[in-house]
Amino acid sequence: MDRMLVVVFKTEVQAYQGRQALLQLDSDGNISVYAYAVLAKHADGTATVKQGDDSGPIGTLLGTSFGSLIGLLGGPVGLAVGASAGVLAGAAVDLNNARIGDDFIDDVTKQLTPNKFAVVAEVEEDWTTPVDTRMEAIGGTVFRRALSDAKHTIHDENVAAMKADMAQMKAERAKAHADRKAKLQEKINQLDSKIQTQLQKAKERREAAERQAQAKVQVLKAKAAAAKAKAS
């Protein structure tokens, strides 16, 4: 199952140990790591990406679920992105793009308080024990959430509802007097603008999902090639 994973640690040393443990679990075949970063929360509430996934393409994709989660965990006071994180600075900070609930963000931020650190990752895992066992031994608190497509379903329903409202207004406009026609037309124009905005957001989310899927394929191909080279 494709999941977002956040492991909160008290010290930077523990966080890097957690990062190494995560990569070792990937190397051992227990999980697949698509992207990761080490995040530091400072005393003033700002956050910094200490280390990102330099080798994998997904770590530098704009508008991915992973990039959005990093931005959300940066908090309202801002996110300072280190050089190793590449263009994650431009990632769309959007809960819809992150494809996780706001309750997950709340749970993590309650633990990720100033002067703490976190390993943030997008992973594929069939069972939770390998990650939990390793991270708890280091002193980490594990949060995970499966990526959801529910937001897309809700979006489609919202657009369908707005289109139904607009169709009704157009029917009423056809029968209305001149003064009423103008008011209905204004409402129709406003509703059409909202629909176009929603459709554009949907297009951007689809494109981001396609980029993310392609990046995952490249990550898996790179791992397969490395394993083949190691075996030969």
Q: Give, for 56, the enclosing helix (H) or strand (E).
A: none
Say how far apart CA 14 and CA 135 lie, in whole Å: 9
174 and 33 Cβ atoms separated by less than 8 Å: no
Q: What is the DSSP string of 7-54?
A: EEESSHHHHHHHHHHHHHHHHTTSEEEEEEEEEEE-TTS-EEEEEE-S
Cα dihedral 31, 37, 38, 41 sign: negative
Q: What is the pLDDT of residue 77?
A: 40
Q: What is the pLDDT of residue 75?
A: 57
Residue type, 61: L
Q: What is the DSSP letter of 85?
A: G
pLDDT digits (tens, 9 = 90+) for 95-119: 556 667 777 888 898 999 999 999 9
pTM of whole model > 0.75?
A: no
Say how far apart CA 232 and CA 228 lie, in whole Å: 6
Helix, strand, coil % over all residues of the chain, rounded to 5: 60, 20, 20
34 and 219 Cβ atoms separated by less than 8 Å: yes
Q: What is the pLDDT of residue 58?
A: 42
Q: What is the pLDDT of residue 57?
A: 38
Point out the residues of the chain with pLDDT beneath 50: 55-62, 76-93, 150
Q: Across-strand partners of 119?
A: 7, 38
Q: Which pair of structure tokens corresponds to residue 101?
A: 């609930």
Q: Give, for 119, the enclosing helix (H) or strand (E).
A: strand 117-125
Nearest to 121 by CA among 3, 208, 1: 3
Nearest to 49 by CA among 63, 33, 65, 35: 35
Say how far apart CA 11 and CA 186 lie, in whole Å: 57
* Burial class of 65 by CB neighbour count within 10 A (0 to 12, 13 to 18, 19+): buried
Contacts of 63 (CB under 8 A, 6+ apart): 91, 92, 94, 97, 204, 207, 208, 211
